Structure formats: structure tokens, C-alpha cells
Amino acid sequence: MASVTVSFEVLPGGLPDKATTYAAVDAAIAVVAASGLTYRVCPMETTIEGDYDAIMAVIKQAQEAVLAAGASRVFTLIKVDYDPNGSSIAEKLAKYE
């Protein structure tokens, strides 16, 4: 399968305040950073590029990191751009950078 781009957003549930919520999201982002995949953190979501199955495994680990950070649940929104010819963050942003 060609490289895909996936954007996802984790929404921690059951946390008492903004600081704790941000810390849980930071734990998810740390998982992405440690994955070795190309990624970009944006204000409302994180975008990753690479092998579909590898990305989905990272998202699962990110969800688990949110729960380990104290959330009682995690809602996850996922957007996938699958193009049989490949997809990258750079090609999507080239004209803006």
C-alpha cells in the first residue's frame, strides 16, 4: 500500500481541568513523536504520514497514553487520505510554505 496521510484528534474525557487535559494530549503527541513516522502537530489535530497499519497502531498507542495520563475515556476523530499513488504532508502544504 502506498503512503497515506492520517489526521487525528484525541479528546480526553473525565479530566478536571484544562492543564490536565493538555497534559493528556501531550502524552498522545509524545507517542507520535517516538514513532519515527513523519508528522505535524496542528492546533486541533495531528497529521501523520506512512504505512496505514503503522499509523493505526500509533493512534491506538496514543489513545492508551491518554488513558494512562488519567482520562476516564478518549474520543478519537480520524481522517484518512488514501491515494493509491501515495499521499504526503509536504505535497498538501507545499504551496503554503
Poorest-pLDDT segment among 4-13, 36-45, 84-93: 84-93
The answer to whether residue 43 scores a pLDDT higher than 80 is: yes
Q: What is the pTM for the complete model shown?
A: 0.93
The answer to whether residue 97 scores a pLDDT higher than 90 is: no
Determine the Cα–Cα distance for residues 37 and 5; give it in Å rounded to an integer: 11
Residue 12: give its domain's CATH number: 3.30.70.930
**Domains: count for the chain:** 1
> What pLDDT score was predicted for residue 1?
72
Q: Is residue 38 part of a domain?
A: yes
Q: Is residue 64 part of a domain?
A: yes
Comparing C-alpha atoms, which of 57, 58, 47, 55 is closest to residue 88?
47
Range of the domain at 65: 2-91
Q: Is residue 97 part of a domain?
A: no
